[in-house]
Amino acid sequence: MLGVLIGACALFGLAIGSFLNVVIYRVPRNESLVSPRSKCPSCGAPIKDRDNIPVVSWLLLRGSCRNCHAPISPRYLYVELAGGALFAGGAARLGFRWDLPAILVLLAGLLALAAIDLERMILPKKVVYPVLAMVAGLLVLAAAVTGDWHDLLVAAVCSGAWFSLFFVLNYASPRVLGFGDVRLALVLGLGLGWFGWRYVVLGFFAANLLGAILGVTLIAMKKMTRDQPIPYGVFLALGAAFAVFAGPEIVPWFTRIH
């Protein structure tokens, strides 16, 4: 039965990835998510339904517009694949649990935000707040069904704590830490805090370790200068995803050290 759940979530994740591509393109441009239909950015031809199948269409058209043959960014393919992989992974990690929908929304939200931050160095409120509201609502539902109100309380406290920490850091040094990251901390604290405060710590450290390793590497390779801004939200999202998936292996290991 778990296999069926993972398969269904993988397919659902591919479709969600397709929707996230619309979010990633339109929200920073202040365009509506529902209308008009998706069109080719080069020639303006509307995308037909048969060309809108996640992954398959991109591969069949070899990443180009059917009408004008202008190349379509591989980002569309990557986001769809990542959506499928994250949802399959989330289902494998949690199984038939009531908090699965909340965690899938969290992962989808982080994927969209990471992609937007990577392209534009912003974390739009119009994405962060709806994700926060959906994750919070779904966690309240999960807590109501299972009676895990304690977990929800821990999640709320972690959300507030991470937000406060980043709020202070942003106040002290707005150039290093943007306010988008402060808002994102609310989501990360809530989602990871649901599993316990150690997951929050793990996600935070994983994000910074990854950012530091990549930053040092890029500077050493002269692909980046020391004072160039980095899309910190990308690393925060990666760190959080790492905590969700690797937490069950790593957290028990470091709880034994006192």
d(CA 169, CA 180): 12
Q: Nearest 5 degrees, angle CA 15-CA 21-CA 24?
A: 145
Cα–Cα nearest to 191, from 90, 115, 122: 90
Q: Is 77 in the site for Zn ion (CB under 5 A)?
A: no
Region near Zn ion per CB under 5 A, out of 27-35, 65-73, 127-135, 165-173: 65-73
Region near Zn ion per CB under 5 A, out of 34-42, 147-155, 168-176, 183-191: 34-42
What are the C-alpha distances in Å from 55 to residues 21, 51, 70, 240, 256? 12, 10, 18, 25, 43
Q: Which residue, 31 or 212, has its beta carbon nearer to Zn ion? A: 31
Question: Which residue among 38, 42, 52, 73 contacts Zn ion (CB under 5 A)?
Answer: 42
Question: Which residue among 11, 60, 68, 216 contacts Zn ion (CB under 5 A)?
Answer: 68
Cα–Cα nearest to 192, from 207, 174, 209, 171: 207
Residue 70 CB, nearest distance to Zn ion (Å)? 5
Region near Zn ion per CB under 5 A, out of 44-52, 172-180, 182-190, 234-242: 44-52
Question: Which residue among 38, 52, 64, 67 contacts Zn ion (CB under 5 A)?
Answer: 67
Region near Zn ion per CB under 5 A, out of 1-9, 41-49, 105-113, 190-198: 41-49
Cα–Cα nearest to 110, from 12, 240, 245: 240
Q: Which residue, 40 or 192, has its beta carbon nearer to Zn ion? A: 40
DSSP 90-153: HHHHH-S-TTHHHHHHHHHHHHHHHHHHHHHS---HHHHHHHHHHHHHHHHHHHHHH--HHHHH
Residue 75 CB, nearest distance to Zn ion (Å)? 16
d(CA 1, CA 159): 34
Q: Which residue, 69 or 125, has its beta carbon nearer to Zn ion? A: 69
Q: Which residue, 42 or 52, has its beta carbon nearer to Zn ion? A: 42
Please tell me the count of residues contacting Zn ion according to CB under 5 A. 8
* Binding footprint of Zn ion on the chain (CB under 5 A): 40, 42-43, 45, 65, 67-68, 70
